[in-house]
Chains A and B, each alone.
Chain A
Amino acid sequence: MAFKKLDSDAVSSTLSRPLDAFVCQQVDANIREAYTERGRGAGKSYGADDRPTLASVGAWCVPLSPWHISPGCTEITCKLRGLATSDGAGGDAIKARIILQATSGAVYSGSLYTTISDDSSVQEVELTYDTTGLEGEVVVVWLVFASELIPTSTATDTRHDTDIASFDYRVNLGNTIGSTFDDAKRWKIDFAEDASGSDPEEFFGYPGQRMIMGKAGAVFGANEVLVYPRLNGRIQAYHTFQVTITEIGRFEVYGWSLTETAFSEPAPLTDALRPAMVPRARTFSEIYRRERALAAERTRVVHVGGTATPHLYDYQWGTQRVYIEDFTQEAYVALGGELPTYRVDSATATLTYKRRYRALMLVVAASSEEEVRPYTLTAEVTIEDVGGGNTQNPTVTGGEVELTPITSATNAADTFPGAVHVYGHFNEENHLNGRWSLNDVLRGRHGLHLLDFTFEEAAPVASTAARLIRIQFQTGGIDPALPANTTDLKSRVYFPACTILVDEGF
């Protein structure tokens, strides 16, 4: 049912009117309407020059943002807006779905793919997940995607073991394939027996399909590309083999939103509020309890997603920073303020702000060394007016974490600092940076830490205005110890997404 407008005169105290069952039933119905129609929601977009492109060989994923599922919420909807490119004839470009990862680490992946077809116009896709059983939980919402092949866009050539280099990350495609390869598109690469049969397949076969991450860089030849995962040594056992590249579909992300779209509605109180019956106090207590639960628990999501740094690091899904001992750096930026209000004492009508925020912040620590060197990360917050001024540094509660870095592939770090380690280094542009292999996520090899902390705006008067919230951090305590303000380029911290919401309670 729709919300029914009720005039305050219906319960005017000055007229000493008796309780009206009709009014009470409508109040009850209106609360249930609010329960189902006031789910949390928030959205994210990317600058038009820096929109991320999703494409992958096999299933890969990105963490959209942590999400605190409201009590009673049974469905989350992700709206994805962007441009799908395939064969130009309406063919399938990519398929996508969302999955949820609980704080326990368990991944709830019971969703089916939605296929997104090629279209010259921007389109929107809705992806849903049934959250029954996860109500009230904090989860990380992952967007999973897998490209479809474009078989009409392909090229093949015979290549040799000498075309593989850089610890099996780099492949020289040669001029024949190179004339087809376009780095602005996305490509799969396959290896097979040379068509002439001069170097027959061995019993151990060939490495499986890989994704081309992009060009190897200016210091290499024009036709040299990087592939991921790294090729294993099997390919080096052949002197001659056949290489085939095939274009894959891609999706340029304009923006996305997350919204709670279904709830298990509380039972109506109609029977307890029948006409001609004396309404019972406990029924009114239940009405108030439902109202209070909505006001206390269904709090506003202020911000979702990462704070991109495309103009600093060519990085689109979030921010990457290097380790600097005891030095404050910025991880996320959002706009808060304009906080909800309530009155504790209804008689005197003293207005109070809900000034406490909760941040659910994702952090990944990565090292280009083989040894795990843990260190601490401490979150800090600065709240200030847009355009500067009126700065506050509220106390952060629960914002410290011991980070255990994930380490890069063996022996590759010193040869390729930056380009090829999807986890280890994030500062160079490639087609997979900031993306995770679904395989790794399902097996817990994602390296994500979730910081769940709170902070409070200091001055109520400031809460009436929009205010910038800057989530900052310091790193420290690495072994061997470093002097303050000293940088360790081998230790990096990545911030893919952060959800900031008004904290529950009063």
Chain B
Amino acid sequence: MAIQNRTFFRVIGGIEDETGASQISVSDGVNVIGGGAVHEQEILLENSIHVYTTANRRALLDVWSHGVVSDSTTIYLYKEATAAVVSFAVALESPALVGQERQSVTWVARYQGRIKVDVIRTDTGASLSAYTGSNETSPTTETQTQTWSSVQDVYLQVSLSPVASTTDAILWGFRALEDQTSL
């Protein structure tokens, strides 16, 4: 069986059993483990994968406005009025330290207009991953995944552009969550 990024933790015995003693016999202190329907060795291996690949994914950036529930046009994180000629402007910029082998984020944004999300390495300013969305003429929730390699010290840059002559660009919220490690 190929190695898996376990998205769940497997509990041995019950959730209150901190050492798995109900399944791992410690009666004489030297017993090997195993047997029965639950294979403890496999669980130990898979749990070790889980805690490295999946546990504690960092919310690298989470910022939401009071007005997000109603898509308010007066309360928001960022707004840029529409014009005949439009361009992207930076709305949010935040430092981030991603975990080892976790060079992937899935973000959720609530916005209207057009969104651009860049993952940029801090030391050189070079773009590691860039995404540009489509024109959204009404409030929309979008989710995308962006992946890069090696670099842990990055910053996230969220830019917005109005839709020319029709729609103000408004950002109500943005969250970038680390993806589980891909081994």
Q: Hey, which bits of chain A sit against chain B, CB under 8 A? A: 2-3, 5-13, 19, 23, 27, 30-31, 33-34, 37-50, 77, 79-81, 122, 124, 254-257, 259, 261, 278-282, 284-289, 291-295, 298-305, 307-309, 311-312, 319, 330, 333-335, 338, 340-347, 351, 384, 386-388, 466, 468, 470, 505-506
What is the interface of chain A mostly: helix, strand, loop, or mixed? Answer: mixed
Nearest residue (CB) in B for A470 is: B69
Taking A19-B32, A42-B60, A257-B96 as contacts, is the C-beta distance between A333 and B65 under 8 angstroms? Answer: yes
Q: In the complex the two chains form, is A301's CB within 8 Å of B9's CB?
A: no
Q: Which residues of A contact B139 (CB under 8 A)?
A: 387
Chain B interface extent, by class: 35 or more
- Cα A122 to Cα B157 with chains together (Å): 12
Nearest residue (CB) in B for A23 is: B45
Nearest residue (CB) in A for B7 is: A341
Say yes or no: is B144 at the interface (Cβ < 8 Å to chain A).
no
Determine how close the nearest CB of chain B comes to the CB of A189; give it in whole angstroms. 33
Say yes or no: is B26 at the interface (Cβ < 8 Å to chain A).
yes
- Cα A345 to Cα B99 with chains together (Å): 30
Q: In the complex the two chains form, is A300's CB within 8 Å of B78's CB?
A: no
- Cα A175 to Cα B104 with chains together (Å): 56
Determine how close the nearest CB of chain B comes to the CB of A366; give it in whole angstroms. 20
Q: In the complex the two chains form, is A43's CB within 8 Å of B7's CB?
A: no
Q: Which residues of A contact B174 (CB under 8 A)?
A: 45
Q: Which residues of A contact B78 (CB under 8 A)?
A: 47-49
Say yes or no: is B91 at the interface (Cβ < 8 Å to chain A).
yes
Q: Hey, which bits of chain B sit against chain A, CB under 8 A? A: 1-4, 7-12, 14-15, 18-21, 24-26, 29-34, 37-52, 54-66, 68-69, 71, 74-79, 89-97, 99-101, 108, 110, 122, 139, 141, 143, 155-156, 158, 171, 173-175, 177, 183
The contact of B61 among A6, A27, A45, A280, by CB within 8 Å, is A45
Q: In the complex the two chains form, is B45's CB within 8 Å of A27's CB?
A: yes
- Cα A122 to Cα B33 with chains together (Å): 56
**Residue from A124, A257, A384, A506 with most neighbouring chain B CB atoms (10 Å):** A257
**Given A8-B3, A254-B94, A289-B20, 8 extra CB contacts under 8 A:** A45-B61, A48-B93, A256-B95, A291-B9, A299-B56, A309-B75, A335-B62, A351-B8
- Cα A341 to Cα B24 with chains together (Å): 23
Q: List 28 A-B contacts (CB under 8 A).
A: A10-B45, A11-B42, A12-B1, A23-B45, A27-B44, A27-B45, A27-B48, A30-B48, A31-B51, A38-B51, A40-B58, A46-B92, A48-B78, A79-B97, A255-B93, A279-B32, A288-B43, A289-B18, A292-B18, A294-B51, A295-B9, A302-B59, A311-B75, A333-B68, A338-B177, A340-B8, A346-B38, A347-B37
Q: Which residues of A contact B44 (CB under 8 A)?
A: 11, 27, 284, 287-288, 291
Taking A280-B30, A387-B110 as contacts, is the C-beta distance between A468 and B64 under 8 angstroms? Answer: yes
The contact of B45 among A6, A255, A300, by CB within 8 Å, is A6
Q: Which residues of A contact B41 (CB under 8 A)?
A: 11, 13, 19, 284
Q: In the complex the two chains form, is B49's CB within 8 Å of A6's CB?
A: yes
Q: In the complex the two chains form, is B58's CB within 8 Å of A254's CB?
A: no
- Cα A12 to Cα B46 with chains together (Å): 11
Q: In the complex the two chains form, is A48's CB within 8 Å of B92's CB?
A: yes
Q: In the complex the two chains form, is B96's CB within 8 Å of A43's CB?
A: yes
- Cα A309 to Cα B65 with chains together (Å): 8
